[in-house]
Copies of this chain bind each other. A is one copy, B any other.
Amino acid sequence: MHPFADLTAAEIGRARNIVQTQHPKTLLSFKAITLEEPPKILMLEYLAAEHSGTTAPCPDRIAYCAYYFRGTTRFFSALVNLSTSEVQETEHKGDGIHGNVDFDEVLEVEKAVMKCPEVQAEIARLMLPDHLEVIPEPWGFGSDGVSDLNRCFQVYMFVREKGNPDSNHYARPLAFSPIFDPVAMKLVKIQHISTSAGHDVGKPDTYKETSPNEYIPSEVALRGDLEPLQVVQPNGPSFKISKDRVLKWQKWHMRLGFNYREGLVLRDVCYDGQPLFYRISLSEMCVPYADPRSPYHRKMAFDLGDVGAGMVCNNLKLGCDCLGSIAYLGGLVCNRDGQPVLKDNAICIHEQDNGIGWKHTNYRTDNAFVVRNRELVIQTILTVSNYEYILMFIFNQAGDIEYQVRATGILSTSAIDEGVTVDFGTVVHPGVLAAHHQHILSLRIDPLIGSYSHGNTAVKQEAEAMPLDDYNPHGNGYRVVKSDITTEGGHDLDWAKSRVFSVKNPHMLNPVNGLPISYKLMFPPVPPLLSHPSSFNAKRAEFADHHLYVTKYRPDELFSGGKFTNQSRGDSGIKNWIAKHQADTADEDIVIWVQFGLNHVPRIEDFPVMPVETVSVHLKPANFFSRNPAIDVPPSTQATNRSVLVQKDTECCKL
Within 8 Å by CB of A235, from B228, B390, B423, B608, lies B228
Instruction: Count chain B CB atoms within 10 A of each CB in A250, A329, A386, A464 and give the residue with the most.
Output: A329
Least distance between A177 CB and chain B CB atoms (Å): 17
Pair B290/A649 contact, Cβ less than 8 Å: no
Contacts of A48 in B (CB 8 A): none
Establish whether residues A605 and B623, one from each chain, have CB atoms under 8 Å apart when the complex forms: yes
A634's contact among B226, B355, B363, B607, by CB below 8 Å, is which? B226
Contact A621 B649 (CB under 8 A): no
Chain B neighbourhood of A463, CB < 8 A: 436, 527, 530, 599, 601
Query: Could you say which of A381, A473, A649, A653 has the most chain B C-beta atoms within 10 Å of its C-beta?
Result: A653
Q: Which B residues lie within 8 Å of A9 (CB)?
A: 653-655
Bound Cα distance from A331 to B421, whole angstroms: 50
- A–B pairs, 9, beta carbons within 8 Å: A135-B364, A199-B471, A230-B640, A243-B651, A322-B643, A359-B408, A359-B609, A426-B515, A493-B495
New A-B contacts (14) at CB < 8 Å, excluding given A323-B643, A361-B383: A166-B367, A216-B369, A230-B641, A245-B649, A245-B652, A292-B466, A320-B368, A322-B355, A325-B646, A330-B653, A359-B409, A360-B409, A426-B513, A436-B480
Q: Please, which residue of chain B has its CB at the minimum distance from the CB of A478?
A: B530
Residues from 458 to 512 in A contacting B, C-beta threshold 8 Å: 461, 463-466, 468, 471-481, 493, 495-498, 500, 510, 512
Indicate if A526 sits at the interface (CB-CB under 8 A). Answer: yes
Complex contact A231–B233 (CB within 8 A): no
List B contacts of A652 (CB < 8 A): 5-6, 8, 243-245
Q: How many residues of A contact B (CB 8 A)?
A: 208
CB of B653 within 8 A of CB of A165, answer no
Using A609-B358, A636-B319 as known contacts, say yes or no to A653 and B476 having CB atoms under 8 A apart. Answer: no
Measured CB to CB, the closest approach of chain B to A385, in angstroms, equals: 7
Q: Which residues of B contact A493 (CB under 8 A)?
A: 495
CB of A353 closer than 8 Å to a CB of B: yes
The CA of A568 and the CA of B397, in the complex, are separated in Å by 41
Which of these, B6, B251, B611, B635, contacts A217 with CB under 8 Å? B635
A534 close to B (CB within 8 Å): yes
Q: Does chain B have a CB within 8 A of A399?
A: yes
